[in-house]
Amino acid sequence: MATPRALVLRTAGTNCDQETKHAFELAGAVTELAHINWLGASDTPLANVQILALPGGFTYGDDIAAGKILAVELMHSMRRHLQDFIFGGGVIIGICNGFQVLVKTGLLPDARILPAADRRLTLTHNDSGKFEARWVRLRTPHHTVSIFAEPDESLELPVAHGEGKLVARDAGIIKELIEQGQVVYRYASPSGGVPTYPDDPNGSVDNIAGICDKSGRVLGLMPHPERYVTGYQHPRWTRERLENREGDGLRLFRRAVEYFKKG
């Protein structure tokens, strides 16, 4: 097919839109930025787009709760467009604040916009009670349906969030996500054991750092892949001679682009 097109959504408080745009361009997508006001006013805002990105930041100051106001805005102005986009084969990635938005609409893990009473997950305050900004190790499980990841993959990315703890209404929900391959990333310990703070920076249930919907095309994760697309962005790039190496985060953007090129 023609070169895939990606659209990066921004609004008041978004601060990772340019980095996300750059990452998709490095991965080979034609990429544009769009403000939520433009999308909401358009009759066909996603008609010529294959990939939608909800980047990180502090949309609307994270008033009420992180990502909540943008989630409500999308539910009211973009409900039909988002549902049509997903059911039509579109790919969505929500990073940090974008992950919070996807969870607070119900698009994760269910790929449907749901009323609050029917949502099964949320992201809440870190166990540390403070904003966590650090590099973490991630590992994908043996079984995942996500188009963004491969089984038993390890990568290193930075996190920067105050409300990144994934919690579920009950333990059965997490069991279901695991069985269906919807758990995409877990925080990992350098020693190989069960990660504790600060390796798991927020206390998420089952150390979960990212999940997807059943199709594998809608992904949300707390770490920031757009902040590590080239070796120069790693804090140890000089000691580890990473100047000619791609950053681990670029894999996610490239796989989203290749998904459509293969199709």
Q: What is the pLDDT of residues 210-241, one digit of tens each?
A: 999 999 999 999 999 999 999 999 999 999 99
Average pLDDT over residues 17-28: 98
At 263, is the pLDDT very low, low, confident or very high (cuts 50, 70, 90)? low
Q: Catalytic site residues?
A: 96, 224, 226
At 1, is the pLDDT very low, low, confident or very high (cuts 50, 70, 90)? low
Q: Could you give the 3-state DSSP secondary structure of residue 125?
A: coil
Omega before residue 141 within 30° of 0, cis: no
pTM: 0.96
Query: Is the predicted pLDDT of residue 262 greater than 90, yes or no?
Result: no
| b (16+ CB within 10 A) / e for 166-197 | bebeeeeebeebbebbbbbbbbbeeeeeebee
Q: Which residues pair with 211 in a beta bridge?
A: 183, 220
Residues near 81 by beta carbon (within 8 Å), at least 6 away in sequence: 39, 44, 45, 46
- Residue where the block lists tokens 């059911």: 87
